[in-house]
Structure 1
């Protein structure tokens, strides 16, 4: 078993730790070296327009001016703002302003010395925002964060997170080898984020930018929101000339004082742009939910994926997170996991406890969902009203990748070439496992045995749970006529109710379940 799992990165394992790779390249303010894939997809599908602008459609907020080396925070909040506007959840552009400061402060070193090892003024990483949003720690409007002020001494876990309005459940990663995918993501979600290397010498009249592939000097990362495109944007508009016409419309975070009010055209062929090895992930927010006091994200990590793990040389793998559920939030509504493997078949299982660990007996596992990933990124699956009967259980994700190794996200430590850690996970034994050949192995134990490292990592597998309200007898998060029918079937001894369902069925609170409860629910529905 000693080599059965491997950590996927663009760099080799060095002295028990993964050196910083393209998956965690620094953006905004530091020059770094990273790998690069020069391939750019050509052409466009017939069903896509030759030009499009979310800005013209009113889905993009005005350009802001970053305060620190936090373009990564500005581009991420801009993408979320665009998604809300695109969906019509918020129609007033001035009312949808989200707090970049909250994201920046949240991503500072925590009081235990872990998390993202940075201060408010330090550079960041492309992976910070996806973890922040997927953990439901963020999605906070500036109006709700007015009392949060810049503080160089604040710790990440001292930043309040109970003000978040929306939590992300699915994110789509995009890359330069699928331009159609980028365009569709913009049209469907309002905008996407991406990093690129910005050098002032390649800016032309503060309106257009193109870094040629021939440029080999160190990069200077910058992250922006892409909100449109023009296949016919003339290549002569750039300071140096790319091979072909075509450019993306990008929103930066340098204020609105430029000729295009803080927006710029950037050539399709710009080196490092949408490059999956140099600056990743480039992402669009696909799904989110309004956060209420009846929903709770159950998770072992809040930082999101920094790398991927896989069963080496196998296209199938079973990965588990052992979760402790809140007794009041006893219905599993959704499962979220991260993977970079597209077109991967998956099955989801609820795994009971056995001697303080996930059960090895697969006959006791309950299939709760299945599907095929239609994109790389954070995958969300709706679960059909699964009642949680154990306070601790595991969610297992069984992956089958016919195009390669099965892989899933992990929040493993990140360090730089000089050995300075930039991210330290809060991983512990008993959180994450993998199952193979009838054996359950703790992921932390694998890190210790294989890499002689105690920091380890935690798999990115989460469960969204909800607390049913009185009358929601069928546990579908709605009180409707179906609940009335279920009570009637129970009274006719045609259906059984669990202990929790019986409490919900006793709508009038008199300790009995009878026709008066069904009638009271009908009155509520009609009111």
Structure 2
């Protein structure tokens, strides 16, 4: 857990950091909120990816029209929800993404699903420390006694909250009807009653990667979008939709000078929707079918379902895709990045987070998460090192897993390891991420403040590290140098309780039994299937596995004239997964 006697960080550093970290520190972080929506830098200048249809799992081509009939939508998905008088469109959009994804992609829900928008709105602005203590000191606070229901927000804020696993929960536990009287919620509603976890966030340029947006809607059910909405007759029209013969609502804003003030969900499209159907005729045909949050009646109406022109000039760059899994996907979320604001870490290709296994006697690290909100198509290599001997060096342990790949869109990506990594309780392990593309960077927390909001971040020693100039640098040192305005790197590790454990090896001995041989022996560990033998050139150096045996002794051939150090640990196998115990103490064989 973070040392709570150290400083909390606040306020935004306006100048570039010496490590050229966190661009976005000089970006506009909060735009003036109007109508319930706060613009985010993540929705501007979204990187473009190469168009591909390879992510489609259920179709070979993107159709010209998809889910373009209200009758189709009402059969499969929940009805429209009403945000009422509060500025919570962003929470309704985010929860809509969750509900549609759990039906379309995760396939663990049906149209009866009803998740709580109030719970998300509350915990976005009233952060609580996560069960493992990793997010201590990170928060997004409302200034000047304003109300969390009238602050507005965006899908960026929502994603940051949901990635911490603060929700989502069922509507009947935190009903929106209680919004007028809900000023506080118990911490248990954040982490103990969740039904799904956000694992991936894709930020796609809707103007230049419309095909990709369509692919992801087909996979996940919907996409979130920020735009300028004026519900009056200025931009709202109506038309008879030829596909159904129904009278439908249309919307087109012809000016780009207006600020985004609303969030909706895209659920379908028609490439041939006539331009003549809009109040102000756009440059061409084609429209998105959008789900609004201004009514609880599911109908063809600007308040419910309406058609938005492809050419609307107020649409932000970013279409947001949220990919959820059931809440039982992993048992533990090891994380430090609980801050609401993150920015790109420039000029550093290799970085790491060190975690300590806390909850179970033995845990299995099964996946890691990396966040690159401003970069797409990034090649990466991730390495997991266990049993660290030096908490100032993330690579001082045993290389237990390695996985390589390439991200798709900008956003946050959960990456499964090729094999689960066993970590006994109390031991330290590191997730080291190397990016193999010039100019890209992982996200890092940073503190910001304006007249409405203050985002605080906290970074303790031996948590996040940067590799530069041939050595590791603790981010806490960098943060201290700049008044605590920089937080942790956005790397998470997901682990399960192994459900079993095995004891440590004891009574290890080693002797030279010949000029070129060493014999090591140790006591028997109850329940062990076998033993792994590790060797290093120094007591606190990097140990590498040299052998495995079912015996309690082993003879090693060596020609080294220098001192050699050995450690041994026991293991057993459960359901095909190797469960490892704590290492023995080190034993040296001198020259």
Report the TM-score, using the length of structure 2 for normalisation: 0.69
Pair 1:29 & 2:70 matched: no
Find the counterpart in structure 2 of residue 524 from structure 1. none
- Please tell me the root mean square deviation across aligned C-alpha atoms, in Å: 3.9
Find the counterpart in structure 2 of residue 462 from structure 1. 492
Find the counterpart in structure 2 of residue 186 from structure 1. 217
CA contact (8 A) 1:135 1:303 kept: no
Deviations 1:429-477 (A, max 9, x none): 433221112221222332443xx331322211111100123599xxxxx
CA contact (8 A) 1:44 1:179 kept: no
Find the counterpart in structure 2 of residue 161 from structure 1. 191
Give the direction of change, closer, same or farther, for the CA distance of 1:456–1:148 in structure 2 (3 Å limit).
farther
Pair 1:65 & 2:82 matched: yes
Pair 1:253 & 2:253 matched: no
Once residues 420 and 231 of structure 1 are traced to their aligned partners in structure 2, the CA distance between those partners, rounded to angstroms, is 41
Pair 1:269 & 2:269 matched: no
Find the counterpart in structure 2 of residue 3 from structure 1. 18
Find the counterpart in structure 2 of residue 322 from structure 1. 354
Pair 1:385 & 2:427 matched: no
Once residues 210 and 124 of structure 2 are traced to their aligned partners in structure 1, the CA distance between those partners, rounded to angstroms, is 31
Q: How far 1:86 sits from its partner (Å)?
A: 1.0
Deviations 1:210-259 (A, max 9, x none): 112x4424x24111111011101111111111101111111111114585
Give the direction of change, closer, same or farther, for the CA distance of 1:140–1:501 in structure 2 (3 Å limit).
farther
Q: For 2:325, which of 274, 283, 288 is the aligned residue?
A: 288
Once residues 392 and 317 of structure 2 are traced to their aligned partners in structure 1, the CA distance between those partners, rounded to angstroms, is 40
Deviations 1:485-511 (A, max 9, x none): xx99759x9768997854969xxxxxx
Find the counterpart in structure 2 of residue 431 from structure 1. 463
Give the direction of change, closer, same or farther, for the CA distance of 1:37–1:392 in structure 2 (3 Å limit).
closer
Give the direction of change, closer, same or farther, for the CA distance of 1:317–1:272 in structure 2 (3 Å limit).
farther
CA contact (8 A) 2:464 2:476 kept: yes
Once residues 504 and 76 of structure 1 are traced to their aligned partners in structure 2, the CA distance between those partners, rounded to angstroms, is 39
Q: How does 1:5-404 map to 2 (within 5 A)?
A: 5-9=20-24, 12=26, 19-20=28-29, 26=33, 28-29=35-36, 47-53=61-67, 56=72, 58-67=75-84, 68-87=86-105, 89-90=107-108, 92-94=110-112, 96-110=113-127, 115-118=139-142, 119-121=147-149, 122-145=151-174, 149-150=178-179, 151=181, 153-154=183-184, 159-176=189-206, 177-200=208-231, 201-205=234-238, 207-212=249-254, 214-217=255-258, 219-257=259-297, 260=300, 262-276=304-318, 282-291=319-328, 295-303=331-339, 306-311=342-347, 317-328=349-360, 330-340=363-373, 341-351=375-385, 353-359=388-394, 365-383=399-417, 384-389=419-424, 391-401=427-437, 404=438
CA contact (8 A) 2:376 2:407 kept: yes
Once residues 63 and 413 of structure 1 are traced to their aligned partners in structure 2, the CA distance between those partners, rounded to angstroms, is 36
Deviations 1:156-186 (A, max 9, x none): 8574421111212222221121000100000
Deviations 1:284-322 (A, max 9, x none): 123524327x711111133566322121xxxx6111122
SS at match of 1:445: helix
SS at match of 1:225: strand
CA contact (8 A) 1:25 1:126 kept: no
Considering fraction of residues, name the structure with more helix: 1
Deviations 1:8-47 (A, max 9, x none): 22x72xxxxx6526xx775743687989669999x99892
Once residues 483 and 501 of structure 2 are traced to their aligned partners in structure 1, the CA distance between those partners, rounded to angstroms, is 50
Give the direction of change, closer, same or farther, for the CA distance of 1:427–1:157 in structure 2 (3 Å limit).
farther
CA contact (8 A) 1:139 1:167 kept: yes
CA contact (8 A) 1:323 1:393 kept: yes
Q: How far 1:143 sits from its partner (Å)?
A: 3.1
CA contact (8 A) 2:116 2:176 kept: no
Considering fraction of residues, name the structure with more strand: 2
Structure 2 unaligned segments of length 5 or more: list them. Answer: 1-15, 54-59, 129-135, 239-247, 503-526, 532-547, 553-567, 576-591
Q: How does 1:415-426 map to 2 (within 5 A)?
A: 415-416=449-450, 420-426=452-458
SS at match of 1:285: strand
Q: How far 1:380 sits from its partner (Å)?
A: 1.5
Give the direction of change, closer, same or farther, for the CA distance of 1:368–1:149 in structure 2 (3 Å limit).
farther
Once residues 549 and 457 of structure 2 are traced to their aligned partners in structure 1, the CA distance between those partners, rounded to angstroms, is 50
Once residues 415 and 319 of structure 1 are traced to their aligned partners in structure 2, the CA distance between those partners, rounded to angstroms, is 27
Once residues 431 and 167 of structure 2 are traced to their aligned partners in structure 1, the CA distance between those partners, rounded to angstroms, is 24
How many residues are paired up? 463
Give the direction of change, closer, same or farther, for the CA distance of 1:36–1:171 in structure 2 (3 Å limit).
closer
Deviations 1:66-96 (A, max 9, x none): 14211111111111111111137345312x1
Give the direction of change, closer, same or farther, for the CA distance of 1:263–1:303 in structure 2 (3 Å limit).
farther
Comparing 108-117 with 175-184, greater Cα deviation is found at 108-117
